[in-house]
Amino acid sequence: MKIPVIEQKMLNKLFSSNEVPHIQLLRHEEFPKKYDEEEKAEIAEITSRNFTVLGLDIYQYSLYQLDKQAFIPHLFDLLYEETWHLIQQNFYYIFQRYGKLHDLGKDNLIPRNYYISTGDGGFQIFETPIHAIVFLVTFATILRFYNSDLFMRKIHAKIGNIDIRFAISLGNVYRYRDNFFGAAIINNARLLARDKLNRLLIERNVYEWFLDRITGIENLMIIGLNDIAQIEEFCAYDAEYINDEHNALIHKDPDIVHREGITSVDILKIGEIRQKKTPLDVYNLHLQAVIKYQNFGGIKKTASVSIGNLNISGINEKEI
């Protein structure tokens, strides 16, 4: 997953950022106010590539007592790491570029390198919305076990149950120095900030991605890995992994009856938010899934989980 980078060489060429002094008290030279065609093409290489962002936010983190609040970032790290441990053992095809657990291949993607931590949550960057959905199902499973007092019981005894709201966005993402920027991150933060009902919200770009690739997000219930392999973003994936038994949730063929899978998808547009004058259509997504893990705490485990809820109340319409 190659995210475009704004490099110093580009900044020097566009703005002479390497020339000193930066303070120029004399306006003896006029500079173009618009980019020329060559500059526009170079900038387009940075801003035209789309990525998926999954936002996770612990609800009302600031209201926790200080002795609990101090350790919630640690709890979130535990949930995050356990999620990736399960993914790297159970989703060999979809997450093949991340490698198997304990596979330290130099070309493997490192999840933390594409994660923006906020302490009480964060933003994970993925190649596609399908990656975000599969990650989310596994994260929600670990969260369910935590809230059921079956994961990290000692910290659960001190902090208690937590609620997390989710959002998925799609848009440009780029890197400047050690930070990520772009519309997908901005819009995701906006979705999370507007939701007060612990839902799973997506925006129109995500909705239309599924509409274009699999004729609608509802078809997550019936697609197989062979179908996913035909999607443009997966064309370069190694199809040999499709036949491996370590492919949970979504199987090779959709016409074989399995005990697991995404069993219910409910999607409904609930409103529109605006950033300055730019509208953003918002959809409420509710998922239910049954998933069978090959290795869950050392055993095979089947779990059922739901994500989001069916509350169709609108979102905060205050413009920002």
Where in the chain are the domains?
A: 67-116+134-160+194-307
- Alpha-carbon distance 45 to 174, whole Å? 10
Using DSSP, state whether 221 is helix, strand or coil.
helix
Percentage of the residues of the chain whose pLDDT score is greater than 90: 62
Residue 290 phi, psi dihedral angles, 5° rounding:
-115, 125
Higher pLDDT, 145 or 258: 145
What would the pLDDT profile of 16-70 be if each residue is shown by its tens digit? 888 787 887 778 888 888 998 898 998 998 888 999 999 999 988 888 999 999 9
Range list of β-strands (E), 134-277:
164-172, 174-176, 179-181, 200-203, 261-275
pLDDT category of residue 224 using cuts at 50, 70 and 90: very high
Residue showing tokens 């093409």: 41
Rounded to the nearest 10°, the torsion over CA 35, 37, 39, 44 is 110
What would the pLDDT profile of 105-147 be if each residue is shown by its tens digit? 778 889 999 999 998 899 999 999 999 999 999 999 999 999 9
pLDDT category of residue 256 using cuts at 50, 70 and 90: low
How is 241-276 classified by DSSP, letter by letter?
GGGSS-B-SS-S-TTS--S-EEEEEEEEEEEEEEET
Q: What is the mean pLDDT of residues 180-208?
A: 93
Sorted by sequence, the CB contacts under 8 Å of residue 237 that are 6+ apart come out as 93, 96, 97, 229
Q: What is the pLDDT of residue 4?
A: 92
pLDDT category of residue 320 using cuts at 50, 70 and 90: very low
What would the pLDDT profile of 259-287 be if each residue is shown by its tens digit? 789 999 999 999 888 766 778 899 999 99
pLDDT at 255 over 70: no
Give the least confident one: 102-106, 116-120, 145-149, 243-247.
102-106
Sorted by sequence, the CB contacts under 8 Å of residue 202 that are 6+ apart come out as 129, 167, 168, 169, 191, 267, 282, 283, 285
Are the beta carbons of 183 and 47 closer than 8 angstroms? no
Give the least confident one: 115-129, 202-216, 219-233, 302-316.
302-316
Total-model pTM: 0.91
The pLDDT mean for the chain works out to 89
Q: What is the pLDDT of residue 257?
A: 65
Sign, CA torsion 6/12/14/19:
positive
Q: What is the pLDDT of residue 238?
A: 94
